[in-house]
């Protein structure tokens, strides 16, 4: 056998992944720097990568805005007034990812002839950032384990798709790919905030 025949018979064969059919920059965006290329649970890997990246983002926001990146809104719970935080930094990040990703997701699906393939995980990134839009940056920096809670809550909503999330998938094309995770992020963020309030209340009870 010559070298080519040996390579064909014993060489490591390249798996013909669908994402190879689109350009490298689109692949980089929709797989979130390759995290979606994981052979197992790409959505989980994309969400985990986004949660990890969120920590240095929170640290950066804390230094740049000096704790002023959140807007607190009054909220009445059981006849008592509390503060509901809107983290403007992560809200803007989530919305930026949402709208910026639409043309890339659309192109990736068109080039590969797929509909919402698992390796497209930029929607999970949008969802994680949206979940953190309901949580103060200073708490994320001081207690990064809340990122694990955000990750777990988001994966719950992303997998089961309750409360109208599944309906968002039916939006046309890339909009449906992105919108269901954005809504999942909203639900996750609300539960994340309620979890923090509960933990805080128990610690001082």
Give the pLDDT of residue 90: 94
Q: What pLDDT, in 10s, does the model give residues 92-116?
A: 999 999 999 999 999 999 999 999 8
Per DSSP, the three-state class of 189 is: helix
Q: Report how far residue 148's alpha carbon sits from residue 10's, in angstroms, rounded to the nearest whole number.
A: 43
Q: At 146, list the tokens.
A: 């809340």
Q: What pLDDT, in 10s, does the model give residues 35-59?
A: 999 888 999 999 999 999 999 999 9
The number of C-alpha atoms within 13 Å of 191 and in the hemisphere containing its C-beta is: 17
In order of 132, 160, 184, the CA distances from 153 in angstroms are 11, 11, 9
- Enter the pTM of the model: 0.85
13 pLDDT band (50/70/90 cuts)? very low
Give the pLDDT of residue 70: 61
Give the pLDDT of residue 64: 81
Average pLDDT over residues 163-176: 92
């Amino acid at each position: 056998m010559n070298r080519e025949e040996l390579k064909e018979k014993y060489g490591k064969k390249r798996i013909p992944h669908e994402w190879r059919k689109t350009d490298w920059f689109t692949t980089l965006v929709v797989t979130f720097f390759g995290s979606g290329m994981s052979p197992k649970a790409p959505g989980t890997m994309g969400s985990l990568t986004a949660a990890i990246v969120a920590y240095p983002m929170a640290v950066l926001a804390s230094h740049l805005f000096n704790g002023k990146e959140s807007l607190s809104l009054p909220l009445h719970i059981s006849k008592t007034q509390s503060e509901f935080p809107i983290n403007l930094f992560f809200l803007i990040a989530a919305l930026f990812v949402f709208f910026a990703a639409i043309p890339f997701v659309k192109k990736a699906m068109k080039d590969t002839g797929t509909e919402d393939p698992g390796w497209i995980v930029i929607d999970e990134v949008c969802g994680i950032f949206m979940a953190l839009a309901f949580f103060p940056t200073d708490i994320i920096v001081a207690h990064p384990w809340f990122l694990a809670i955000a990750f777990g809550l988001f994966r719950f909503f992303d997998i089961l798709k309750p409360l109208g999330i599944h309906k968002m998938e039916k939006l046309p094309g890339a909009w449906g790919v992105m919108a269901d995770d954005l809504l999942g992020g909203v639900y996750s963020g609300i539960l994340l905030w309620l979890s923090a309030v509960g933990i805080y209340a128990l610690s001082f009870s």
